[in-house]
């Protein structure tokens, strides 16, 4: 500690993990190839992915990108499907079943109806949690509900675009108690996981695990190759089609970066 009260970094401890994404390209920049890494957080116990089922609508593509980022960093992932009180047809249950079948913990929640409170405490308490999700899904409202002393700023969803407005503008580590920490992040409309090669992407889709070693070619990208066991599993409805389309979407973004 300096005499003026400011702190001094004396040692930087090693990280047990970290999670990152590709930094956005700078408009007009001529940089080619792999984009720079933007580190989000380190030493995380849980990556908590929040999506609303309505207002804004459920976005499985975004969830799958978040999951790939977590899986590639070997971080435990939890999915929260929020605002279930708005889904009178209960369509969200289809996605809850899908992700639970894959092996993920899914919490269905509603602040207005007091649904999911105890489950959320079980997920968050005693852990360092990174809360990730798109703008407007209710991350800050959920955290205020679970931990009222946080008093995080919340916002409304735009009636024009049905997209959330940013209320958190920078990642903030909130210390709840000596064992519980919550990192609230700005709403992200799109995420590109960092440092993933085409040939490795399939390993971060847990539902592909039973099939990727049965392809005819060792270098199979599970996109167009003959004898692809993953494609056959999709055709046989053993792998969910939407999940496979998410895989292709991320694969395309990796290819686009390398060809930029």
Strand duo 181-184 + 172-175: pairing: antiparallel
- Bridge pairing between strands 172-175 and 105-108: unpaired
pLDDT for res 66: 95
Q: Each residue of 68-98: pLDDT tens digit?
A: 999 999 999 999 999 999 999 999 999 999 9
- Per the CB < 8 A criterion, the answer to whether 211 and 236 are in contact is no
Report how far residue 70's alpha carbon sits from residue 46's, in angstroms, rounded to the nearest whole number: 9
Domain coordinates in residue numbering, the chain: 38-184, 198-259
Do 38-184 and 198-259 have matching folds?
Answer: no
Residue 158: per-residue pLDDT: 38
- Which 8-state DSSP code applies to residue 169? -
Note the pLDDT of residue 72.
95
Q: Show the low-confidence residues of the chain (pLDDT under 50).
A: 30, 156-169
Q: What is the pLDDT of residue 27?
A: 57
Class of domain 198-259 (CATH, top level)? mainly alpha
- Buried/exposed code over 56-76 (b: 16+ C-beta within 10 A; e: otherwise): bebbbebbbbbbbbbbbbebb
**Which residue in this structure is represented by tokens 């092996």?**
103
**Angle at CA of residue 127, ends 125 and 132, nearest 5°:** 100
Q: Specify the fold of 38-184.
A: Rossmann fold (3.40.50)
């Amino acid at each position: 500690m300096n005499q003026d009260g400011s702190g001094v970094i004396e040692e930087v401890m090693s990280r047990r993990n970290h999670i990152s994404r590709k930094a956005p390209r700078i408009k007009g920049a001529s940089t080619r190839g792999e984009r720079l890494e933007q580190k989000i957080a380190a030493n995380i116990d849980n990556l908590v992915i929040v999506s609303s089922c309505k207002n804004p609508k459920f976005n499985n593509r975004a969830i799958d990108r978040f999951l790939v980022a977590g899986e590639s960093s070997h971080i435990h992932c939890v999915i929260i499907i929020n605002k279930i009180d708005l889904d009178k047809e209960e369509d969200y249950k289809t996605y809850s079943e899908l992700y639970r079948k894959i092996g993920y913990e899914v919490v269905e929640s509603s602040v207005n109806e007091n649904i999911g409170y105890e489950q959320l405490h079980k997920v968050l308490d005693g852990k360092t949690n990174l809360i990730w999700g798109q703008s407007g899904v209710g991350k800050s409202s959920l955290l205020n509900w679970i931990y009222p002393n946080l008093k995080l700023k919340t916002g409304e969803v735009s009636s024009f675009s049905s997209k959330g407005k940013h209320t958190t503008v920078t990642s903030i580590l909130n210390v709840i108690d000596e064992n519980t920490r919550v990192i609230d992040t700005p709403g992200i409309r799109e995420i590109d996981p960092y440092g993933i090669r085409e040939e490795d992407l399939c390993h971060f889709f847990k539902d592909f695990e039973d099939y990727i070693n049965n392809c005819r070619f060792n270098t199979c990208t599970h996109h167009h190759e003959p004898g692809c066991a993953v494609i056959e599993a999709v055709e046989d409805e053993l792998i969910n089609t939407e999940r496979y389309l998410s895989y292709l979407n991320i694969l395309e973004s990796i290819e686009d970066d390398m060809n930029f």
